[in-house]
């Protein structure tokens, strides 16, 4: 494959929002300026990534994955909630649980199932209508980390401005609320135009934080498939935070 052929192949296989989405790459970053003053970078707390100032917060866990084979021999992906895995392995589900602590079965046995790195489709399908009910906006804003390797370099070139946060640079997009599902990776931030809620997903985490009204969070944590637990901005968000299930 020649260099020209490779570039053509790569261009066809990397993500370009102009192909099949209604997302717009924004060059005016002002709509995202409200976010950074409400964050506490370096705190290793929920407010490091989730903006402060909202009435309530929830941590939404991405499901653990188990491969199964059906009667016809087709491989399928089964999802297991963190709450269920913790109880299966004899641990306590709570807002600060970690995948490492709830994966311990005994001193010499570990549950090697690992969580997804993004929100599962079935979670998004129930989360979106909840969020839509708790905003007057149909338009959403999205921040996507510039470090993902499958972004089209001809689209995301040096002319596209980035929002600079400590440790991360982001591209800003706008689009309908449902456009969250059009990204190749979960957006790191997603909020409604009226800022009634904000979803934050750090690239290093296997969960999201929802910042919203108390009524919205009450709905979020009431839906079993979302596997969500209420949390607070000052709660830790780091390795070693699960002191309840600490195997040491």
What's the pLDDT tens digit per position in 202-243? 999 999 999 999 999 999 999 999 999 999 999 999 999 999
| 136 and 213, same domain (yes or no) | yes
Verify that 193 and 149 share a domain, yes or no: yes
- Domain co-membership, 127 together with 43: yes
Q: Does 178 reside within a domain?
A: yes
Q: Are residues 190 and 81 in the same domain?
A: no
Higher pLDDT, 69 or 134: 134
User: What pLDDT score does 69 carry?
Assistant: 65
The residue range of the domain holding 29 is 22-60+117-231
Task: Assess if residue 241 is contained within a domain.
Answer: no
Please report whether residue 160 resides in a domain.
Answer: yes
pLDDT at 77: 84
The whole-angstrom separation of Cα 223 and Cα 219 is 7
Pair (34, 83) in one structural domain: no
Q: Are 135 and 171 part of one and the same domain?
A: yes
Q: What is the C-alpha R_g of the chain?
A: 19
**CA atoms of 108 and 102, how far apart (whole Å):** 14
Is the model more confident about 60 or about 75? 60
Q: How many domains does the chain have?
A: 2
pLDDT given at position 65? 94
Q: Which of the residue ranges 11-20, 25-34, 63-72, 109-118 has the most confident prediction, judged by mean pLDDT?
A: 25-34
The answer to whether residues 192 and 135 belong to one domain is: yes
pLDDT digits (tens, 9 = 90+) for 17-67: 999 999 999 999 999 999 999 999 999 999 999 999 999 999 999 999 987
User: Which uninterrupted H or E stretch holds 24?
Assistant: strand 24-25
Q: Looking at the structure, do residues 49 and 161 belong to the same domain, yes or no?
A: yes
The chain-wide mean pLDDT, for the chain, equals 93
Residues 69 and 191 in one domain: no
Residues 6+ apart with CB under 8 A from 101: 91, 242, 245, 246, 247
Residue 2 lies in a domain: no
**What is the C-alpha to C-alpha distance for residues 171 and 211, in angstroms, rounded to an integer?**
21
Question: Which pLDDT band, with edges at 50, 70 and 90, does 246 fall under?
Answer: confident
Tokens representing 82?
Answer: 């963190």
Q: What is the pTM of this model?
A: 0.93
Residue 238 within any structural domain of the chain = no
Domain presence at residue 17:
no
> Can you give the pLDDT at residue 9?
66
User: Do both 92 and 39 map to the same domain?
Assistant: no
């Amino acid at each position: 494959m020649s260099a020209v052929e490779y570039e053509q192949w790569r261009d066809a296989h990397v993500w370009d929002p102009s192909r099949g989405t209604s997302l717009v790459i924004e060059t005016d970053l002002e709509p995202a300026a409200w976010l950074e003053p409400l964050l506490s970078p370096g705190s290793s707390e929920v407010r490091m990534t989730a903006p402060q100032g909202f009435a309530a917060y929830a941590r939404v866990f991405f499901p653990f994955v188990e491969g199964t084979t059906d009667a016809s021999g087709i491989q399928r992906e089964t999802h297991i909630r963190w709450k269920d895995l913790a109880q299966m392995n004899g641990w306590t589900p709570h807002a600060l649980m970690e995948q490492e602590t709830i994966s311990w079965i005994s001193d010499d046995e570990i549950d090697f199932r690992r969580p997804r790195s993004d929100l599962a489709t079935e979670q998004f399908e129930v989360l979106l209508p909840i969020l839509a009910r708790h905003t007057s906006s149909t338009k959403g804003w999205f921040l996507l980390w510039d470090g993902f390797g499958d972004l089209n370099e001809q689209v995301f070139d040096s002319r596209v401005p980035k929002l600079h946060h400590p440790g991360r640079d982001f591209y800003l997009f706008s689009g309908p609320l449902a456009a969250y599902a059009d990204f190749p990776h979960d957006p790191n931030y997603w909020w409604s135009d009226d800022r009634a809620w904000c979803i934050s997903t750090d690239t290093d985490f296997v969960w999201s934080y929802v910042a919203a009204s108390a009524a919205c969070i009450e709905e979020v944590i009431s839906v079993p498939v979302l596997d969500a637990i209420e949390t607070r901005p000052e709660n830790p968000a780091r390795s070693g935070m699960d002191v309840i299930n600490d195997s040491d």
